[in-house]
């Protein structure tokens, strides 16, 4: 397995795996509880440049030529700029006033979401991707890396804590209480 920077051609796989982690949030964003609409929405942005879900902000895990996982990470200072095309699209296509809470901020690289192909879950791939991001952003470049975890997902939180994340507070995202975790340079 290799972990590499994503390419535009990876967009269908990226959208599929990111949606595994954020399906309920995307439903809330678009105001529809429809898997195909949510996937279409996410794919629209993953395959385009300069937005928070863009392939430009993703890394993928590839095994035998197949993308089996994806992680989406970007500079928290750029959240509003990266979110702007998403907000405009939602306002125009879903006739919904889109103004969610800020899930990140300047001073951290934010893991927006990541997912692993269900056929490859339980093999440590998610942990390897997180370790790769921590090594690259925290240890090599001296940045803080943060993420939000739903308080109803203690298994995910245990994994993050085991990998070195520490609680730095709480945030609300689309009405859900989330723990804000970070790994910081030493």
**What tens digit of pLDDT does each residue of 104-117 get?**
999 999 999 999 99
User: What pLDDT does 83 receive?
Assistant: 95
**What tens digit of pLDDT does each residue of 127-177 get?**
999 999 999 999 999 999 999 998 888 888 999 999 999 999 999 887 788
Cα–Cα distance, 156 to 152 (Å, whole number): 9
Q: What's the half-sphere exposure (Cβ side, CA atoms, 13 Å) at 168?
A: 19
**Strands of 2-5's sheet in order across:** 2-5, 58-63, 66-75, 109-116, 145-150, 176-183, 166-173
Question: Averaging pLDDT over each range in 7-11, 85-89, 93-97, 121-125, which range is the top one?
Answer: 7-11
User: What pLDDT does 100 receive?
Assistant: 81
The fold for domain 2-142 equals Aminopeptidase (3.40.630)
Model confidence at 101, pLDDT cuts 50, 70, 90, reads confident
User: What pLDDT does 186 receive?
Assistant: 83
Instruction: Give the list of residues 6+ apart from residue 91 with CB closer than 8 angstroms, or none.
Output: 97, 98
């Amino acid at each position: 397995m290799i972990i590499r920077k994503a390419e535009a051609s990876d967009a269908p796989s990226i959208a599929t795996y990111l949606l595994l982690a954020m399906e309920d949030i995307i439903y809330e964003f678009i105001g529809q509880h429809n898997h195909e609409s949510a996937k279409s929405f996410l794919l629209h942005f993953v395959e385009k440049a300069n937005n928070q879900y863009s392939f430009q902000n993703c890394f993928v895990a590839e095994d035998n030529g197949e993308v089996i996982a994806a992680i989406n990470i970007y500079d928290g200072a750029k959240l509003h700029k990266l979110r702007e095309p998403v907000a405009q699209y939602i306002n125009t296509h879903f006739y919904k006033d889109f103004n969610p809470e800020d899930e990140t901020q300047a001073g951290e690289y934010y893991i927006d979401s990541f997912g692993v192909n269900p056929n490859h879950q339980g093999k440590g791939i998610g942990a390897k991707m997180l370790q790769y991001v921590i090594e690259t952003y925290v240890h090599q470049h001296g940045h803080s890396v943060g993420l939000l975890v739903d308080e109803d997902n203690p298994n995910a939180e245990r994994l993050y804590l085991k990998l070195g994340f520490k609680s730095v507070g709480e945030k609300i995202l689309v009405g859900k209480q989330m723990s804000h975790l970070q790994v910081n340079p030493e």
